[in-house]
Chains A and B, each alone.
Chain A
Amino acid sequence: MSKIEKTIARQQAKIEEGQFYEAHQQLRVIASRYIKQSQPDPAISILYSGAQLLLKAGQGGSGGDLALFLLEVYNKSEIGVNAESKGRLITLMRGFPAGEPTRKRFINEAVGWSARFGESEMGDAEMHHVAGMLFAADDETYDAERHFLLGTRDSPVALSTLEYEWYTEDEPSTAPLYVSRAVLPYLLTGNYMGAKQSFFLFTRKLEEKNPGLPSKKVDNQDVDVNIYPSMPLLNFLGLLLLAVERGAQAPFLKLRKQYEAQIRDVGTWGDALDQIGERYFGVRIPKAYNPLGDMMNMFMGGGGGGGAPQQKRRVQAAAPAPGVD
């Protein structure tokens, strides 16, 4: 048994006896000592095992403290993202007792570390997926969304399931609002397959669970789509996904115009649709109307001419009237 293993075994015995505070303090001290001697590896082993043992014993606070300390060591020692370093963090994420407040902070900082030292600036996809699963199990829906949207190819399945379950607690007519929470953000992150898959899974479930829901297949030689006469915004999303495959501006503008009123009623889609329009269809985002800025421009001699082209762009983009969002 190595020295480190002996240390861990000793602290494990303490934790099993219920001496949590003492074990926590000693683990901290021993790890700090290794760090002072510039030996991050043994410090990592001790903090990882110690955090796990405390979390397992239901000590979310002290276990979480050691877990955060571990991340501090990762950051200071510039530990890269690999199967081992990432695997430890994923195991700790899962080890927190449900509802432990430190967990959210640990997850955020762990993802932050992976963004700093890994391949993706947005954070490691696998870590995002696991975080999504944990928050979904805890009914923390918005946090689950935030992570699933940057997750792996398993994430769209999990996210559409979550959105569907969440939807079943709301009015039957709100289905498009819930599926849009997967579809539009996946488009924004550039994950077209995720957007398409979550829409497909959600609508399939909707039809399965509601055999009476009117739906009609509309098709031609190239394209087919299911239309739900009672849910116009669901149709909007389905048609939007088809338009994204072509990337042409005209259909996108026509689609937004057709559903303008309903989209305005939703109130929360405007910005996302503007972004999607710009990035997939090359529709420029109308500048936000800013009376104070315009007035300043006038005083500064920038001229009132700025107003006219801006107006034109707004019409061209068929965006909702200003002030909707």
Chain B
Amino acid sequence: MSEEAFAKSFIDDLARLPVTGPKVLSAPSPSLQYMLPKHPTTPQKRKRTTSSPDSSSSSTITITLKPRKDGAELSLPAQPLTTSIYDLKAAYAAHTGYPVDKFKLLNGMKPETTGSKTVAEIFGLKEGEDAKDVEFKIMLMAGATAQPMPDRVVSPPVTLPVDAKTDVTPAVRSPDEAPVAQGLSGEGVMHTEKFWGDLKGWLIQRIRDEKEGERLAGLFRVAWEKASA
């Protein structure tokens, strides 16, 4: 039977079966052999000649963290392109005393929720190219208050060269600013873990079945991600 003929008869068989969705497997355990064995004819090592850019010639950029309302602005010159969101949050936390989970970094309107992402990945910067400086907006969450500095062990991810123009005093927030955290609306909400957590909670409560609620929440998320990809 030709490839095409077999495929046709195969999918005709499938069409007669209900789509159950892929079976949800239990989480993999550390003993699982999940990798394919090395293939005997496959080269052990890549043989490309254009190797990855030399890390010694690393470009640097200035990254500015600007609060959406008032508060301390932080300008970090000479940062490597591998600077991650985690690094920037730790730097801002060290600078202002806000705990890292009480503010978000926005790229334009979009919150950057993946902490391990680098500025190179977010802005599509490449080593060796003319680097442009970048800026993130800081969005404070409700209840964000600066922790007193002396008690904190400051562990900045990068040595913090602070520009002279930067306002170093930690911002004291007035209570009427608290609703900033609710400022996020529309599509941006869907990018937060909280939204999906809330949705799952509601589903579980509504259906009164934890497993099914979790499954549906996962399904909605996958579908939404697919549609917005």
Chain A residues in the interface with B (C-beta under 8 A): 2, 4-5, 12, 41-42, 44-45, 48-49, 52-53, 58, 83-84, 86-88, 90-91, 94-95, 97-98, 115, 120-122, 126-127, 129-130, 137-142, 145-146, 149-150, 152-154, 165-166, 169-170, 174, 177-178, 180-181, 184-185, 188-190, 192-193, 216, 218-225, 227-229, 232, 235, 239, 242-248, 250-251, 254-255, 258, 266-269, 271-272, 279-280
Chain B: which residue is nearest A228 at the CB level?
B3
Task: Sample 22 A-B pairs with CB under 8 A, ordered by A number.
Answer: A87-B90, A90-B115, A90-B116, A95-B82, A126-B115, A127-B116, A139-B51, A146-B35, A188-B34, A189-B32, A193-B222, A218-B8, A219-B11, A223-B15, A225-B7, A229-B4, A235-B3, A244-B22, A245-B20, A246-B18, A251-B10, A268-B39
Interchain CA distance A221-B114 in the complex, whole Å: 39
Q: Which of B99-139 contact A (CB under 8 A)?
A: 100-101, 114-116, 118
Q: Say yes or no: B13 contacts A185, CB within 8 Å.
A: no
| B137: min CB distance to chain A, Å | 18
Interchain CA distance A95-B55 in the complex, whole Å: 10
Interchain CA distance A248-B13 in the complex, whole Å: 10
Interchain CA distance A22-B49 in the complex, whole Å: 38
| Contact of A169 with B17 at beta-carbon distance under 8 Å, contacts A87-B86, A268-B37 already known | no
Number of B positions contacting A (CB below 8 A) = 70
| Contact of A44 with B155 at beta-carbon distance under 8 Å, contacts A138-B52, A170-B43 already known | yes
Partner of A246, one of B20, B36, B51: B20
| Contact of A239 with B24 at beta-carbon distance under 8 Å, contacts A87-B90, A97-B55, A126-B115 already known | no
| B100: min CB distance to chain A, Å | 5
Q: Say yes or no: B28 contacts A190, CB within 8 Å.
A: yes
Across the A-B interface, the 9 shortest Cβ-Cβ residue pairs: A87-B86, A190-B25, A139-B46, A192-B22, A45-B155, A222-B15, A137-B52, A223-B11, A126-B116
| A168: min CB distance to chain B, Å | 9
B225 within 8 A of A: yes
Interchain CA distance A267-B36 in the complex, whole Å: 11
B207 within 8 A of A: no
Q: Say yes or no: B11 contacts A225, CB within 8 Å.
A: yes
Name the prevailing secondary structure of the B interface residues.
loop
A residues within 8 A CB of B1?
Answer: 258
Chain B: which residue is nearest A40 at the CB level?
B153
Q: Say yes or no: B27 contacts A120, CB within 8 Å.
A: yes
B172 within 8 A of A: no
Which of A90, A139, A272 neighbours the largest number of chain B CB atoms within 10 Å of its CB?
A90
B residues within 8 A CB of A152?
Answer: 114
Partner of B23, one of A153, A169, A280: A280
Chain A: which residue is nearest B38 at the CB level?
A142
Chain B: which residue is nearest A185 at the CB level?
B34
A residues within 8 A CB of B28?
Answer: 121-122, 150, 188-190
Interchain CA distance A219-B17 in the complex, whole Å: 15
Q: Say yes or no: A83 contacts B100, CB within 8 Å.
A: yes
Interchain CA distance A145-B46 in the complex, whole Å: 13
Known: A83-B100, A188-B34, A228-B3. 19 other contacts (CB 8 A): A2-B150, A4-B154, A83-B86, A83-B89, A87-B86, A87-B157, A90-B115, A91-B86, A122-B27, A138-B52, A141-B45, A146-B35, A149-B34, A165-B48, A170-B41, A174-B41, A192-B22, A242-B11, A268-B38
| Contact of A190 with B116 at beta-carbon distance under 8 Å, contacts A83-B86, A165-B48, A239-B10 already known | no
Q: Say yes or no: B30 contacts A115, CB within 8 Å.
A: yes
Chain B: which residue is nearest A242 at the CB level?
B14
B residues within 8 A CB of A129?
Answer: 116
Interchain CA distance A173-B47 in the complex, whole Å: 18
Residue-wise interface mask of B (147-163) relative to A, using a CB-CB cutoff of 8 A (1 in contact, 0 not) = 00010011111110000
B33 within 8 A of A: yes
Interchain CA distance A84-B29 in the complex, whole Å: 26
A residues within 8 A CB of B41?
Answer: 170, 174
| B31: min CB distance to chain A, Å | 10
Interchain CA distance A153-B101 in the complex, whole Å: 22
Partner of B153, one of A45, A98, A223: A45
| A103: min CB distance to chain B, Å | 12
| Contact of A248 with B17 at beta-carbon distance under 8 Å, contacts A5-B154, A90-B84, A177-B42 already known | yes
A residues within 8 A CB of B18?
Answer: 246
B175 within 8 A of A: no
Q: Say yes or no: B86 contacts A141, CB within 8 Å.
A: no
Interchain CA distance A295-B101 in the complex, whole Å: 63
